[in-house]
Amino acid sequence: MTETDIKKGLAGVVVDYTAVSKVNPDTNSLLYRGYPVQDLAASKSFEEVALLLWNGELPSAGELADFVALERAGRALVPNVKAAIDLLPTTCHPMDVGRTAVSVMGANHPLAEDSSPEAELAKAKDLLAAFPAIVAYDQRRRRGLGVIEPRADLDYSQNFLWMTFGEEAAPEVVDAFRISMVLYAEHSFNASTFTARVITSTLSDLHSAVTGAIGALKGPLHGGANEAVMHTFEEIGIDKAESREDAAARAKTWMEAALAAKKKVMGFGHRVYKNGDSRVPTMKAALDKMIEHYDRAEMLGLYDGLEAAMNEAKAIKPNLDYPAGPTYHLMGFDTQMFTPLFIASRITGWTAHIMEQRAANALIRPLSAYNGPEQRAL
């Protein structure tokens, strides 16, 4: 084994096939089971996209109706999950709450140790239906507020916002939220998905694989970046009432200092996309609608200013987290809740990959090059 054989971070290493999605940096495109993600975001519900990722095909009207009924019936926070959340201090990170709640759901599930395709799909659907209540309750308890029960007359996105804020969100807010759920759902062998596949490859259970994936997603180099983007905006000062030019100038000053300090600026760059993240235009359009809806034009000064300053300095493009963070901020989600929102969506991609790994499994166990002391006597 020579130094050149080692691919740190598995950068550029193809380790297996997947039919779930295709990320193509050359064409800057992303396909979910062959469909361009921007086409799905323009016209499909998150429920339809979930079924597409799991089953490989868009659902028939009957298949969708059956899943919608199941999802709506599975939304309520079950007592021992709520009790487990209540044992956790409100000072802990909400990703720890999500990780714990999924573990309890695994302990609860009657099919937890059943890895048949039918059982895996049933568990995936249960997780998707139940997770919004966990995020909504955790945000509310941190504000000293109680549970808001789900409503079966609302779709997934409408109900998620209802349980979090206790009011029916405007249609344009619901649509921006739906778009974010579709865009965050799947992205081939990213760190958290690959974590789920590694855990599945040992023939461990689905909830263990999702719990591990949540741990990977928490990191700011991965899912935690959408929260970190908001911290950047807050650090620069997002609520100053000023002209877009003044905001852009402050953003440029901040970026220059960050890059001079060799900081990684959250929301920019990507291991696979090198000319921009295929999902950004669609998410940015949704952010623009939210900026108009909430009359926050000054935010564009910061947003555009940071992007221009990074482009000028290092030509590194934004990734999905960059427009997603401010969008969730405008909707009223606490910054720490942004990555749990990512979990709610990526449960679909993770579980689609778990099922794919299990269907054609090989234990994932790479090699290492030893660079410790040679054999020696005691």
Min dist CB 157 to ligand SDX, Å, is 19
Nearest to 350 by CA among 64, 20, 15, 13: 20
From the list 74-82, 104-112, 260-268, 300-308, the region that binds ligand SDX by CB under 6 A is 260-268
CA dist., res. 120 & res. 149, Å (int) = 27
Min dist CB 253 to ligand SDX, Å, is 16
Compute how many other C-beta atoms are within 10 angstroms of the C-beta atom of residue 118.
9
How many residues form the binding site for ligand SDX (CB under 6 A)?
21
* Options 109, 321, 334, 353, the catalytic residue: 321
Min dist CB 263 to ligand SDX, Å, is 7
Binding mask 199-238 for ligand SDX (x = CB under 6 A): ----------------------xxx-x-------------
Instruction: Kindly report the backbone phi and psi dihedral angles of residue 276, in degrees, each rounded to the nearest multiple of 5, phi listed first.
Output: 110, 145
Q: Of the candidates 60, 264, 297, 312, which one interacts with ligand SDX according to CB under 6 A?
A: 264
Smaller CB separation from ligand SDX, 135 or 196: 196
Min dist CB 279 to ligand SDX, Å, is 8
Active site residue 321: yes
Nearest to 110 by CA among 96, 122, 92: 122
Tell whether residue 268 is a contact of ligand SDX (CB under 6 A): yes
CA dist., res. 99 & res. 245, Å (int) = 42
Min dist CB 6 to ligand SDX, Å, is 15
Give the per-residue SS3 of 80-96. HHHHHHHHCCCCCCHHH
Tell whether residue 321 is a contact of ligand SDX (CB under 6 A): yes
Min dist CB 198 to ligand SDX, Å, is 15
Min dist CB 315 to ligand SDX, Å, is 10
Q: Of the candidates 319, 335, 345, 357, which one interacts with ligand SDX according to CB under 6 A?
A: 319
The answer to whether residues 303 and 142 touch, using CB atoms and an 8 Å cutoff, is no
Instruction: Kindly report the backbone phi and psi dihedral angles of residue 256, in degrees, each rounded to the nearest multiple of 5, phi listed first.
Output: -60, -40
The answer to whether residues 178 and 62 touch, using CB atoms and an 8 Å cutoff, is no
Compute how many other C-beta atoms are within 10 angstroms of the C-beta atom of residue 73.
11
| H/E element, 30 | strand 29-32
The tokens for 329 are 């901020």
Locate all alpha helices (DSSP H) within 143-243, ordered by sequence: 156-165, 171-184, 191-201, 206-217, 225-236
Strands lying side by side in the sheet with 21-24: 21-24, 29-32, 35-36
Smaller CB separation from ligand SDX, 138 or 186: 186
Tell whether residue 267 is a contact of ligand SDX (CB under 6 A): yes
Q: Of the candidates 44, 270, 329, 353, which one interacts with ligand SDX according to CB under 6 A?
A: 270
* Options 187, 207, 270, 353, the catalytic residue: 270
Q: Interhelix angle for 338-359 vs 321-331, to 10°?
A: 130
Q: How far is CA 176 from CA 251, 282, 287, in A?
A: 25, 10, 7
Q: Of the candidates 266, 290, 306, 354, which one interacts with ligand SDX according to CB under 6 A?
A: 266
Nearest to 160 by CA among 138, 187, 144, 142: 138
In the complex, residue closest to ligand SDX by CB? 269
Binding mask 165-204 for ligand SDX (x = CB under 6 A): ----------------------x--x--------------
Compute how many other C-beta atoms are within 10 angstroms of the C-beta atom of residue 302.
23
From the list 127-135, 313-321, 332-340, 353-361, the region that binds ligand SDX by CB under 6 A is 313-321
Q: Of the candidates 76, 78, 145, 316, which one interacts with ligand SDX according to CB under 6 A?
A: 316
Smaller CB separation from ligand SDX, 177 or 268: 268
Residues of this chain that bind ligand SDX (CB under 6 A): 9, 187, 190, 221-223, 225, 264-272, 314, 316, 319-321
Instruction: Please list the active-site residues.
Output: 270, 321
